[in-house]
Chain A
Amino acid sequence: MNTVILEDNEMDALMMQQLCISDSEVQLLGTYDTAAGILEHVSKEKIDLLFLDVEVPDMSGLELIEKLPYQPLIIVTTSNKAYASDAFDYDVTDFLVKPLITKRFKKAISKATQGFEKRNKIALSSAASELYVRADGKLIRIPYDDILYFENVGDYIKVITNDKVHIIHGALKTLAEKLGHPRFLKVHRSFIVNLDKVIDIEDCSIQISKRMIPISRAHKSIVMNSINLI
Chain B
Amino acid sequence: MIEYLREWDKCAHSTLRMKSTQEVEVNHGYKFSDKLNAEFLQESYGNNLEFGKKMFSIFLESIDGDLEDLQLAIHAKDYVHVKGVAHKIKNNFTWVGLPQLSSVMYKLEMAAGNKSQTLKDDFNEFLSLFKQERVTVDTEYTRLSDHLSCNQ
Contact flag A10-B4 (CB < 8 Å), given A15-B55, A21-B16, A103-B43: yes
When C-beta atoms are compared, the residue in chain A nearest to B55 turns out to be A11
Distance, CA A11 to CA B44, complexed state (A): 12
Interface string of B81-93 (1 = CB under 8 A from A): 0001001111110
Residue numbers in A under 8 Å from B91 (CB-CB): 9, 11-12, 79, 98-99
Q: Which of B1, B51, B59, B106 interacts with A79 by CB under 8 Å?
A: B106
A140, CB-defined interface residue at 8 Å: no
Distance, CA A92 to CA B5, complexed state (A): 25
How many interface residues does B have (CB within 8 Å)?
A: 31
Distance, CA A98 to CA B63, complexed state (A): 19
Distance between A21 CB and nearest chain B CB, rounded to angstroms:
6
Interface string of A16-32 (1 = CB under 8 A from B): 01100110000010111
Within 8 A of A (CB), among B10-57: 12-13, 16, 40, 43-44, 48, 51, 54-55
Distance, CA A37 to CA B58, complexed state (A): 23
Distance, CA A101 to CA B92, complexed state (A): 14
Structural contact, B1 and A17, CB atoms closer than 8 A:
no
Residue numbers in A under 8 Å from B54 (CB-CB): 14
Distance between A6 CB and nearest chain B CB, rounded to angstroms:
11
Structural contact, B2 and A9, CB atoms closer than 8 A:
no
When C-beta atoms are compared, the residue in chain B nearest to A34 turns out to be B2
Structural contact, B12 and A21, CB atoms closer than 8 A:
yes
Distance, CA A14 to CA B2, complexed state (A): 11
> Which residue of B4, B51, B91, B106 has the most chain A CB atoms within 10 A of its CB atom?
B91
**Chain B residues near A (Cβ < 8 Å):** 1-2, 4-5, 8-9, 12-13, 16, 40, 43-44, 48, 51, 54-55, 58-59, 62, 84, 87-92, 94-95, 99, 102, 106
Listed by A's residue number, 5 A-B pairs whose Cβ atoms lie within 8 Å are: A9-B92, A10-B4, A11-B95, A13-B5, A99-B95
Beyond A11-B58, A18-B12, 4 additional contacts (C-beta under 8 Å) are A14-B58, A15-B55, A31-B2, A79-B91
